[in-house]
Amino acid sequence: MKYISKINSLLVLLMFFSLSGFSQEISKKSVIVPLSKPGEPGKLYVEIHNGSIKVSGHDGKEVIVVSKTNALEQQHSSNSEGEEKEKSKDNPPEGMRVVGNNAYALDIIESDNKVKVDTDSHYSNIDLEIQVPKNFALYLENHRNGNIEVDNIKGVEINAESHYGSITLANVNSPILADTHHGDIIVTFSDVNSENPSAFSSYNGNIDLTFPKKGNATIKTKSERGNIYTDMAVTVNDSDPKVITKSKNGTNYYSVEKWNYGKINSGGPEFSASTSKGNVYIRVQK
């Protein structure tokens, strides 16, 4: 029987009044989400516009979602054409002061061990702290005003995308896809036991990967304006650039692609790291 639990619009419609002004952290709400199939693998989907995402694995059989919203004093200004008009709205009438308006909605949907967390964070800055069973796959995305952090997730896929923030993954052994435009990507592997490849890419940021001493991996790195660093024994294969040919509708396309290839220990699943302006660091756990 299909089980669906929807915590529909917690509607944390809060206005915080204080004679001394309002605090930066306005509200904090915790929700426990039971799973349809406790103990079995599941998936977590989170996408927010403004705010951070922090996910940690635990030994429980449920998902725990903690949401925090902050005062939006900095978001009253606008970069749009109507910036001056918007600013005028923030000027209180004589004898009155701003006490904040921090309404936001949080929706959580659970079906067949798939948990989706959705917020109206286009208009609020919402930070999420989520605990999931360690055997959950993660699909995480945020845009601005926050980073993505993951800790203690084992043996399943992690897909993380952040536009302005950094991505930090610790104590993971999963096949990973991580992409950020402005931030760094920092990953510490507890083990390397998957045959599936992992890929890390950033435009402005550094990519920092730490492997266990006995881990076997094939490394594929590229930095257009930065350098590649390592403190471990990596067998480097300085091969010639590859010419890639593609055909579409009778037209042939050719591109030349240059990567640095290497092996950690005896080699294994492929880990590719690509950045345009940052550096790539390949480390061994001390």
Residue ranges and CATH numbers for the domains of the chain are 4-75+99-232+268-284 (2.160.20)
- pLDDT of 69 reads 84
Band (pLDDT 50/70/90 cuts) for residue 96 is confident
Band (pLDDT 50/70/90 cuts) for residue 141 is very high
CA distance 279 to 197: 21
Q: What is the pLDDT of residues 168-213, one digit of tens each?
A: 999 999 799 999 999 999 999 999 878 899 999 999 999 999 999 8
Band (pLDDT 50/70/90 cuts) for residue 235 is low
- pLDDT of 242 reads 65
- pLDDT of 10 reads 39
Q: Phi and psi at residue 35, in whole multiples of 5°?
A: -100, 150
140, pLDDT greater than 60: yes
| Lowest-confidence region among 37-41, 233-237, 245-249, 269-273 | 233-237
Q: Is 151 exposed, middle or buried (0-12, 13-18, 19+ CB in 10 A)?
A: middle
Band (pLDDT 50/70/90 cuts) for residue 15 is very low
**Residue of 105 and 49 predicted with greater confidence:** 49
- pLDDT of 59 reads 96
- pLDDT of 21 reads 40
- pLDDT of 174 reads 77
CA distance 141 to 47: 5
Q: How many CB atoms lie within 10 A of CB 111?
A: 13
27, pLDDT greater than 80: no
- pLDDT of 256 reads 65
- pLDDT of 247 reads 83
65, pLDDT greater than 90: yes
9, pLDDT greater than 50: no
221, pLDDT greater than 70: yes
- pLDDT of 236 reads 61
Given the structure tokens 């606008």, which residue do they identify? 78
| Lowest-confidence region among 29-43, 95-109, 190-204, 270-284 | 95-109
